[in-house]
Amino acid sequence: MANERNRIITIANQKGGVGKTTTAINLATALAAIGERVLIIDLDPQGNASTGLGIGRRDRACSSYDVLVGERSIGEAALQTAVPNLFIVPSTMDLLGLEMEIAQRGDRAFRLRQALQTEEAFAYSYILLDCPPSFNLLTVNAMAAAHSVLVPLQCEFFALEGLSQLLETVDEVRRTVNPSLDIQGIVLTMYDSRNNLAQQVVNDVREHLGEKVYHTLIPRNVRVSEAPSYGKPAILYDLKCAGSQAYLQLASEVIQRERRRKIAA
């Protein structure tokens, strides 16, 4: 990706329920809270990021589907959320039909990238793409449009196996649609310190992936799981809870790494 005017991060893991959406919402909120202008693009037909940020079905007249088919621009589809500086392009079930509709087009993998190569998209300093739990044309569009992939990994037995599949996918994407796709980092989620296996997973993942793994561990926390039903990021719902504090810490790690990357570039 040539553009360095913003940072586009896709939050991906082909497994469902590992904390992608929770990470997208809370990382975005934390970045917005320190003054970054942030956009989430909800690419999951389930629309959990949209719901979790309080965007009701009625407010989704314009969605990521419209952007991908080229009927709307990012600026037209982005909605302000209750969090200052945080915007979202919501999703609808229409996304389920997208694959069929654009399958024959030569540019099918690059629909999102095209939409993001615009002044409207450059107005955000961070764009986070919340992916569905599968490897399909939506995920390919996200990986083709992004500078990097951030991988939430649940601390459980098959975590490493899932991770190696994902890293193979990233290699495939580099060979085909986006040679400069970077790994932003791996964040371990739903960590339970009382569980010995979780500690083992943390050790294994750190051993294999080293510095790509964030120091911050996101703990399993009830307040984090309650927040979406109030249409709020955990950070707004209960700033003091351990989960919110962990997401703030993750945001500061993301920013520190970005600073280092820019200095090295």
Q: 163 touches which of Mg ion, ligand ADP, none (CB within 5 to 8 A by kind)?
A: none
The contact pattern for ligand ADP, residues 196-225, with x = CB under 6 A and - = no contact, is ----------------------x-xx--xx
Name which of 104, 2, 90 is nearest 45 in CA terms.
90
Q: If you compute the radius of gyration of the chain from its CA atoms, what whole number of angstroms results? A: 17
* Residue count, binding to Mg ion (CB under 5 A): 3
**Backbone φ/ψ region at 225: left (φ over 0), alpha (ψ -120 to 50), beta:** alpha
232 touching ligand ADP, by CB under 6 A: no
21 touching Mg ion, by CB under 5 A: yes
* Residue count, binding to ligand ADP (CB under 6 A): 18
56 touching ligand ADP, by CB under 6 A: no
Residue (75 or 133) nearer to ligand ADP, CB = 133
How far apart are CB 104 and ligand ADP at their closest, in Å?
A: 30
How far apart are CB 55 and Mg ion at their closest, in Å?
A: 14
Distances (CA, A) of 133 to 20, 43, 139: 9, 10, 9
Residue (17 or 84) nearer to ligand ADP, CB = 17
Of how many residues is the chain composed? 265
User: Order of strands across the sheet with 148-154?
Assistant: 79-80, 86-89, 38-42, 126-130, 7-11, 148-154, 182-191, 213-219
90 touching ligand ADP, by CB under 6 A: no
Which window, 41-49, 65-73, 135-143, 237-245, contacts Mg ion (CB under 5 A)? 41-49
How far apart are CB 13 and ligand ADP at their closest, in Å?
A: 6
16 touching ligand ADP, by CB under 6 A: yes
Q: 228 touches which of ligand ADP, Mg ion, none (CB within 5 to 8 A by kind)?
A: ligand ADP
Q: Which two tokens stand for residue 254?
A: 């993301």
Name which of 77, 72, 81, 76 is nearest 25 in CA terms.
81
Distances (CA, A) of 229 to 139, 154, 191, 242, 243: 26, 21, 22, 19, 16
List residues binding ligand ADP (CB under 6 A).
Answer: 16-22, 48, 133, 189-190, 218, 220-221, 224-225, 228, 243
List residues binding Mg ion (CB under 5 A).
Answer: 20-21, 48
